[in-house]
Structure formats: structure tokens, C-alpha cells
Structure 1
Amino acid sequence: MSNYVVSVQALILVFFIGCWELAGRLRWIDVLIFSYPSKVGRQIVKDAVSGELWPHLAMTVGETAVGFLLGTLIGTLLAVLIWWSPFLSRVLDPYMVVFNSMPKVALGPIFIVLFGAGFTAIVVTTLSITVIVTTLVVFNSFNEVDANLVKVIRTFGGSRRDVFLKAILPASFPTIVSTLKVNVGMAWVGVIVGEFLVAKIGLGYLIVYGFQVFNFTLVLSSLVIIAIVATAMYQLVVYIERKLVRER
């Protein structure tokens, strides 16, 4: 069944690329704006061979990895903290909801002023997206654990620490691991938004530069690279999830 699904996915991708290439070759679309796959491929190969691509790719991947890991770690720890203190949970709940609803692009300039126009500001922009999402998802998972498990531990004299370690955390482990997959996408969004605002290097910078000079093939090639690397990161997280869940 899985091989059949992969085959269908591959056929859809090939069909889409073929239609795009045909539409570009026959001028059914404006190639100045939409380009076409072979032209985008040549752009990627040219930038890779010349060495221009690698510093931008390395910077963006580095920022994404740091934002992804820190966002997941800090968000999970914050979820544990507010679960441990019901008072703190009630106090912070409306603030987290409001902050999560705020457009992070609007916060970007503030981060730039606070942390400077560079790596730190971009990572903090990423954290502003990943931390709250992780916290809300993991905290809700804590609250959805079967109350009977908690009652059993309490009945035998277990402390809040025992409840967390023996019931809450084990039951929420699949959700915590699954949050990694969500954070892959969130981290990429945060990094690209940050690079749009401040970066002088990175794939987000290449996209902005491509728009400025009307080189939309460069824009699309950067988007294709982002899609490829993000997919690779996602598949790595899926592999880690399967390993961890199977070991449990």
C-alpha cells in the first residue's frame, strides 16, 4: 500500500512538472514571472557550481535547525511549567493565545532593534512562532491524559512529580514527538520571514533580491530548494519519530 501511495505521489509531481514545462515552452504562461522547470533547474545548477548557493543554503539551514530545536525544547519546558502550576497556567493562558494570534512579521522590527540585524534576530523571530505553538499543543496533550491514571497514582500516595513522570509524560510522548513535525514547517516560516526583514544572506534574502531585480527564476529556484530541504528535514523527523515510538 505504501509503495502505491509513493507511486501516485511521484506521478502527480511528474505530471505537475511536465504541465508546467509544457506551458512555459509553449508560452501559455508568462515565463518572465512563472519561468519553467528546466530553466529553474539550470539556475540551481549554475548557482551550485559557481558556489554562490552554498553560503545562503548553509545560513538558512543553520538558522532553521537552531530555531527548530530551541523552539521545541523551550515550548515543551514551558508546557511542563504551566502544567505544574495551575495558577501560572490560568495567568498565562490568555497571553499565550493573544501572542499566538499576533502577526509575527509585525514583531520582526522589534526583534531587529533588540537583537540587531543578524542571526539572533532571525532565530528569535522563529522562536516567536514555534515556542507558543509547541507550548499550546503539548500542554493540551497533558490535560487530555486519562484522569483515571492520575487517580490511581494519587490513590497510592503518588506526588505531582510521580503523576507527571508515570502518567502525563508517557501518555503525551507521541504528541511531543509529533510536534517535531509541525515545528519543521513553523521553523522554516519563521526563518524566511526573518530573512525577508533583515538578512543579507540566506534563501529568504535570495527571494527578496530576485524580486528586486525581476529575476523570478531565482525566486522560484530558491523556493524549490526550500521545498527540497524542508522535505528532507521532515522525513528525518518522521524517521526519528518512528524509531522513538517503536523503541517505546
Structure 2
Amino acid sequence: MTDPISKEQSEYLNQIQRKKYWIRVAQVLLLLLLLFAWETAVSKDILNGFIFSSPTRIIRCFYSMALDHSIFLHIGVTLAETLVSFVLITIFSVLIATVLWWFPTAAKIIDPYLVVLNSLPKSALAPILIVWLGNNMKTIIITAISIAVFGSILNLYSGFLNVDRERLTLIRTLGGSKKDCLTLAVIPSCIPLLLSIMNVNIGLSLVGVIIGEFLAARSGLGYLIIYGSQVFSWERRQIEPHILPLSAAFL
């Protein structure tokens, strides 16, 4: 049975809730103020409406694309590619980091190459991948994987190495094998690190997919951005930057 909350504690908790509420209200009001200022600046010709568009034009464009369901097709394609990339990045990171931890000599040999691959400008690799793999979804997914997988492997492997040595020694002293050290100490200790890496990778996967869609797609939000720029449809062009944060939040 839990102890009853005192009047002071209840008042303190209410203050925290009220503070959170007013922070949310302030955030919404700030967004509405910015949108109003943007719309007013365009309507008063302070900003060029052709270049900057306006919130009402963007909403009308989104509504027209929603009526023919084309926007949902592009969102679905991008989200599907992002999820596939994210899952593959996570699997490859865990497997390769585990192999490197299991074989320390191989890790010392491979580590410099991982560092070099992680430092490469991945956006520059996309045109090469198109030549190698063709203009298809596979190229987009591999581009997204290349954005995050090498850094994820290095970070996770570093976390494996930093596991408490005393825990590993205790397992060995009690007759445990290297497999026991991995399953009972290393992996459980690195779950918070893995979750943190996954939290970063979902955003990087989305960025990688958009980069790939810039160059090798006939559908998706990245394709819409390029198409909108080519036909000078700035309303269509500016829908995607507003959808992308919502997509990332959904993921």
C-alpha cells in the first residue's frame, strides 16, 4: 500500500504539471506567431511569394496532393526505405561489433579501415552506387546504410570494450566461457548504449534515404524535393521539409 501524498507534495506536482502545460502553450503560440508573420510578410510583399511561398499556399498544395493520395504514396515509400535501412544498420552493427569483440586481433586489423570508411563523405558515394547497383530502391537503402553503419559499429564496439572488467573476471572465475561473458555481461551492459545508437540511427537513416532519393528515385519525399525545384513549384518543394520532422517523430 502506497503512502498518501501530502498536501505540499500534491501542490508541488501540480506546479510541475502547470509549468509543462504553459511551456506547451508557449511552443504552440510561438509556432503560430511565426506562421502568421510569414503569411503577413508574403501578403504585404515584404517577402517574395514566388520564392518563399506561404503557409496557406503550402496547405492548399498539400490538400490537393492528399486528395489524389500522391503525397501518401511518397511518404510511404520514404518511411519503408527508412525502416528497412534502420533495421539492417542495427543488425549489421550488432553482428560486426560482436565479431570484433570476439576476435581482438581481427579488430585491430579492421579498425583503421572502419575509421576511414566512417570519415568518407557518404553523399559523394551515392553517384558511384548508382553506377554499381543501378537506379533502384536497393541503391537508396545501401546509401542510407552507409551513412550510419560504420559509426554505429565503432561506437558499439567501443562500448563492448568498456564493459566492467570485474564482471568479466567474476564470470571467468565461476567457470563461465567467453560466450557467457558476451551474453551475461557485455550485451546486457551495452543495451542502453545500443538504444542510444538506434535513436540516432533512425534520423541518419532518414537523411540517407533522402540523399539517395535525390539521385536514384521516382518516388519518395527526396524525389518530390528535387521535382519541386525543377518545375519551380515552391509550395510542393516546401511541403517535404515540414513532413520530414513529422516522419522522424513517427519513426
Q: What residue in structure 2 maps to residue 237 of structure 1? A: none
For residue 139 of structure 2, what is the aligned residue in structure 1?
121
TM-score of the two chains, using structure 2 as the length reference: 0.86
1:60-139 equivalent positions in 2, closer than 5 A: 60-139=78-157
The superposition leaves residues 191-213 of structure 1 with CA deviations (integer Å, 9 ceiling, x where unpaired) of: 01001111111111110011111
After superposition, the CA RMSD in angstroms is 1.7
Q: What residue ranges of structure 1 are gaps of 5+ in the alignment?
A: 234-248
Output the CA distance in 1 between the equivalents of 2:144 and 2:120. Answer: 14
Deviations 1:104-154 (A, max 9, x none): 121112211222111101001111112112212211221222222112212
| In structure 2, distance between residues paired with 1:87 and 1:72 | 24
CA 8–170 in structure 1, closer or farther in 2 if over 3 Å, else same: farther
Summarize deviations over 1:143-194 as a string: whole Å, max 9, x none. Answer: 2222221122122232211111111111101111222211111011110100
**Is structure 2 residue 40 aligned with structure 1 residue 22?**
yes
Maintained 8 Å contact 1:126/1:187: yes
* Corresponding residue SS for 1:186: helix
Matches of 2:99 and 2:26, distance apart in 1: 44
Q: Which residue of 1 aligns with 2:241?
A: 223
Contact 1:112 / 1:198 at 8 angstroms: preserved in 2? yes
Match of 1:142 among 160, 165, 172: 160
Contact 1:207–1:218 (CA under 8 A) maintained in structure 2:
yes
User: Which one of 177, 200, 215 corresponds to residue 159 of structure 1?
Assistant: 177
Deviation at 1:103, TM superposition (A): 0.9
Letter in 2 for 1:130: A
Query: Retained in 2: the 8 A contact 1:72–1:130?
Result: no
Are residues 222 and 87 of structure 1, via their aligned partners in 2, closer, same or farther at CA, if it must alter by over 3 Å?
same
CA distance in 2, matches of 1:42, 1:129: 34
Question: C-alpha distance in 2, partners of 1:136/1:24?
Answer: 48
| Structure 1 letter corresponding to 2:58 | V
Deviation track 1:4-46 (CA, whole Å, cap 9, x = no partner) reads 4544443443333333233333332222222222221111111
Higher alpha-carbon deviation: 133-142 or 179-188: 133-142
Describe the shift of the 1:147–1:17 C-alpha distance in structure 2 as closer, same or farther (beyond 3 A): farther
Partner of 1:52: 70
The amino acid that maps onto 1:67 is S
**Structure 2, unaligned stretches of length 5 or more?**
1-15
Residue number among 211, 219, 235 corresponding to 1:201 in the alignment: 219
User: Who wins on radius of gyration, i.e. which is larger?
Assistant: 2
Greater alpha carbon shift after TM alignment, 71-80 vs 8-17: 8-17
Amino acid in structure 2 at the alignment position of 1:211: S
Distance 1:9 1:136 in 2: 37
- Please give the secondary structure, in 1, of the residue aligned with 2:77: helix
Amino acid at match of 2:44: L
Taking only the aligned residue pairs, the percentage that are identical comes to 37
